Amino acid sequence: MRLFRYGPPGDERPGLLDVRGVRRDLSGVVGDLTPHTLGPDALARLARLDPSRLPEVDPAARLGPPVGQIGNVIAIGLNDAEHAAEAGLPLPRQPIVFSKHTAAVCGPDDDVWLPPGAVKLDWEVELAVVIGRAAWHVTEADALAHVAGYCLANDISERAHQLEMDGQWIKGKSYPTHCPLGPWLVTADEVPDPQALELWLDVNGQPCQRGSTRTMVFGVAALIAYLSRFMRLLPGDVILTGTPPGVGMGHKPPRFLQAGDVMELGCDVLGRQRQRVVPAPLP
C-alpha cells in the first residue's frame, strides 16, 4: 500500500493511493496514520479494503508528512561509502547516530525555510524507515519485521550550525521544515529489499545527487538492530538512513541553497518531492 496524509498543516487526514494512482480518503475508516495505526494488524485491515468504495481526494490538496505524531527522528551520518569519500572521511566503524527535532518534519512539497543568517543550507535525499512494531534488542535477522514502511526524506542541513559551532549536530538539523517526508508511506511488503532503491536529487533542474541504498555502509536491518541495543524504537519512530554523494558541501567549490532555489528529489518506489527555499517567516 501507499498511504498518505493530506490537508492543512496540523489538520491532516489519512489517505490511500489506489492502483490507478487515484488518491482515496481513509478518514471514514481510521482517524489518522499515527503510531497507533502502524502495527501489522492495523495495516492488514487497511489492505483488505476495497479502495473503489472510498471517497476520492482532490489531487490538488496539500500532502503532509505520511505519518503523524512522530515520536523520534533518528538519523545516521556518513552511511554511504561514496558520500564518505566525497567528504574525505574514513568509513565509520559503527553507525554515527544523531537526531532531528520532530518540529522539523513537514510535507513533501512544503516550502523549506532559510534561517536568518544561514549561508550553508544543504540538501540530502535519503531513505526513511518508519517503525511499526517496538524494537528492543532485536537481531539483524528479525529487524525488518519491525518496519511499517518506507518513505522519501530530505535531510536539510545548515552546515555552519552543524559543523562550525560547539555541541551536537542536532542544531544544524532541526530548523522547522528541515525534514520533508513523503509523499507516500510505502508499506514494507511493497519494498522486499530496502537495499535496492535508487535515489536522486536535482537543484534548479541540475542533477546533484545520484545514488543507491546498495552503497550504504550499514544496511537498514543492521541499523535497526544496532539502534535497538541503546534505545527502544517505538511505533512511529523515523530513521533517516544516510545520503548518497552529491550534497552541496561536497561540490568543488561548495554549493549551498539560497532563497528561490528549488529542490526536486525522488525514488521510483517511494515517489517524488519538490521544495522551494524561502526566507523563514519569523514571528
- The answer to whether residue 9 scores a pLDDT higher than 90 is yes
Separation CA 25–CA 15 (nearest Å): 4
| Residue 87: band (very low, low, confident or very high) from pLDDT cuts 50, 70, 90 | confident
Specify the pTM.
0.97
Superfamily of domain 68-279: Fumarylacetoacetase-like, C-terminal domain (3.90.850.10)
| Assigned C-alpha cell, 151 | 518513505
Q: Model confidence over 187-242: pLDDT tens digits? A: 999 999 999 999 999 999 999 999 999 999 999 999 999 999 999 999 999 999 99
Work out whether the CA dihedral 59, 124, 282, 103 comes out positive or negative.
positive
Q: How far apart are CA 166 and CA 143, in angstroms?
A: 35
Residue 199, classed as helix, strand or coil, is strand
> Is pLDDT of 244 > 90?
yes
Which of 126, 127, 149, 138 is CA-nearest to residue 35? Answer: 149
For the chain, the structural domain boundaries read 68-279
- Rounded average pLDDT over 159-163: 94
As beta bridge partners, residue 187 has 149
* First CA to last CA distance, the chain: 39
CA 185 to chain centre: 10
Mean pLDDT, rounded, for 4-13 = 98
Q: Cα dihedral sign for 80, 177, 105, 2? A: negative
| Mean of pLDDT over the chain | 97
At 188-199, the pLDDT tens digits run 999 999 999 999
List pLDDT tens digits, range 175-191.
999 999 999 999 999 99
**Nearest partner of 200 among 159, 245, 248, judged by Cα:** 245
Cell for 166?
560547539
Confidence check: pLDDT of 85 > 90:
no
- pLDDT-above-70 percentage for the chain: 100
